[in-house]
Amino acid sequence: MLGIIGVSGLTGAIIGSGICYLWLKNSRQREFSHLELEAKAKAKAIANEAELLLQEAQVKIKRNELEQESEFQKRVAQVEERNRALILQTKELQKEEKKMSILEKQMLQKEANLERLEIQKREEIDKTILKMQNVASMTKEEAKNYILEKVEEQSRADVATIVRKYEQQAKEEGQKKANYILSQATTRYAGDFAGERLINLITLPSDEHKGRIIGKEGRNIKSLEMLLGVDIVIDETPGVILVSSFNLYRRAIATKVIEILVEDGRIHPGRIEEVHDKVQAEFEEKTYEEGENILIDLGLFPMHEELVRLLGRMKYRASYGQNALAHTLEVARLAKVMAAEMGGDEKLALRAGLLHDIGKALTQDMGGSHVEIGAEICRRHNEHPTVINAIYAHHGHEEPDSVESAAVCAADTLSAARPGARREVLESFTKRVKEIENIATSKSHVLQAYAINAGREIRVFVNARKMGDNEAVLLSKEIAKEIEEKVQYPGDIKVNVIRETRATSFAK
């Protein structure tokens, strides 16, 4: 019984295992079928995608082929167009060659005709010479020379007549043009005339200030005249004093210094020096500003600072009684108008006119010709060659080399020549006083020299450390003798050589 149970259990186990095996097998088959279907679906999708990519690639290839075909057709069309153009050019060249060959043949024919005519002319001349030889009993060479002389004389007379005719016409036209340019310049510019005097009048609050200006034993007025280099005239005229000097710059500084001292009320040598130094510094700044304003008005920037300062200082310079700055501006504007009428550079003519007398700003300090000084300064600061030529040309040192230089020369003459522009007496006096000062300053150990009292006296300040009293006496005699030899003047000139020593200390 137990055996039957064991067999049946074993049989049941075997049957269960078989059933399990069959179930697992069917399950595996279903799984494999599912995977196979999935793999086939993926393979089909990949195949479809590959087919799409292939179609796209074929489309791109076709498009590229079409584009290349189009580009090729364009290139072919361009080549054909160029070929047609070359063919046309070749035809044109062939036509030109035919024309040139025809012209060449015509030229050769004309040359042949000319040679034939030349031969005929020579034959006719020879026949004429033979006839003259027979009639006048002249040889062939003599007849030829006679004919040539007559022809030359006749030609010379004709040429001379023509030259005189056109020369006269040129003079008349030139005169008319010059008169027109001058009239246009003078009518388009009308400048005010600024005359300069030799004295400045200072009004005082009361006559008491005259005594303060003179000071104890005259020390204040002596200090003023010594330091300022002017002649101070205090007379019986109530409420005024006179400041006299030919140097406008020096006189302007002196006038300002005295006005400040009178207003302040403290007048003594120390205060005089302090105010003088301050006013002199202010004038230096003021001259630069005035020069700068002139350049701004005329539109001539840039310009070197030294030239700007000298231009402002021209306001304190006079020539024949005519203010140098007013004359300079007048010349500059006239030159600009003339250059414009003659087709020149207006700006360059304006600049040359403005700088043509720039040397005059330094002649009172340096001495010498304002032409040489001005040209040297402009050359040092790289001014235009036309400007330098105008400086030389306006006094005849060189010939004008441009329209602008010629315009400056004409404008300078026009400005100086108009009625009332200049006073000859004043200029001769100024030159005389300047010569006296230059003689004194040319000596060794001389610090400063001022001509005062209307040029009848000169004060010479020397270096006390380098010159003794005896040498000062000899120097005064030497200066007086040289003035007698070189300067023409009425009356006497007093020469004062001043040697003084100062000691200065500060209490702290």
Task: Tell me which of 155, 188, 221 is where a domain ends.
Answer: 188
Q: How many domains does the chain have?
A: 3
Residues 466 and 414 both lie in one domain: no
Q: What is the mean pLDDT of residues 104-121?
A: 82
pLDDT, position 195: 41
Looking at the fold, whether 478 and 330 belong to one and the same domain comes out as no
Q: What is the pLDDT at residue 1?
A: 52
Give the SS3 label for residue 451: strand
Query: How do residues 45-92 score in pLDDT, each as one tens digit?
Result: 888 888 888 888 888 888 888 888 888 888 888 888 888 888 888 888
Question: What percent of the chain has pLDDT above 90?
Answer: 3
Is 370 found in the same domain as 264? yes
pLDDT of residue 75: 87
| pLDDT over 70 (residue 109) | yes
pLDDT at position 167 over 50: yes
- Given 391, 422, 453, which residue is the final one in a domain? 422
Contact between 302 and 386 under an 8 Å Cβ cutoff? The reply is: no
Q: Is 247 helix (H, G, I), strand (E, B) or coil?
A: coil
For residue 330, the model assigns a pLDDT of 86
pLDDT, position 175? 62
Instruction: Evaluate if residue 3 carries a pLDDT over 60.
Output: no
Examine the domain organization and report whether 291 and 413 are in the same domain. yes
Do 367 and 227 lie in one domain? The reply is yes
One domain for residues 298 and 444: no
What CATH number does the domain containing 315 carry?
1.10.3210.10
Please tell me the predicted confidence (pLDDT) of residue 460.
92
Above 80 in pLDDT, residue 169? no
User: Could you tell me if residue 155 is inside a domain?
Assistant: yes
344 part of a folded domain: yes
What is this structure's pTM? 0.47
Domain range enclosing 309? 199-422
Q: What is the mean pLDDT of residues 456-467?
A: 87
Taking each continuous run of H as one helix and of E as one strand, the counts in the chain are: 15, 8
User: Residue 30 domain-assigned?
Assistant: no
Q: Examine the fold and report which residue of 389, 422, 455 is the final residue of a domain before the chain moves on.
A: 422
Domain identity same for 385 and 278 = yes
| 114: in domain | no
- Is 86 a domain residue? no
**pLDDT confidence tier of residue 137, bands split at 50, 70 and 90:** low
For residues 372 and 356, what is the distance between their CA atoms, to the nearest angstrom? 11
Residue 298 forms part of a structural domain:
yes
Residue 379 has pLDDT above 70, yes or no: yes
193 pLDDT more than 60: no
Segment 376-403 shows an average pLDDT of 88
More confident call, 261 vs 154: 261
Q: Which of 194, 188, 180 is nearest to 328 (CA)?
A: 194
Task: Give me 315's structure tokens.
Answer: 């306001």
Q: Whole-number mean pLDDT of the chain? A: 79
If asked whether residues 365 and 388 sit together in one domain, one would say yes
Q: Which of 37-46, 142-151, 364-373, 491-500 has the lowest mean pLDDT?
A: 142-151
**pLDDT higher than threshold 70 for residue 419:** no
Q: Could you tell me if residue 386 is inside a domain? A: yes
Q: What is the per-residue pLDDT for 190?
A: 47
In a domain, 409, yes or no: yes
For residues 367 and 491, membership in a common domain is answered with: no
Query: Which helix (H) or strand (E) segment is 450 a member of?
Result: strand 446-452
For residue 144, is pLDDT > 80?
Answer: no
User: Within this chain, do residues 295 and 214 fall inside the same structural domain, yes or no?
Assistant: yes
Q: Do 262 and 365 have their domain in common?
A: yes
CATH number of the structural domain spanning residue 449: 3.30.70.1350
Q: Are residues 401 and 473 in the same domain?
A: no
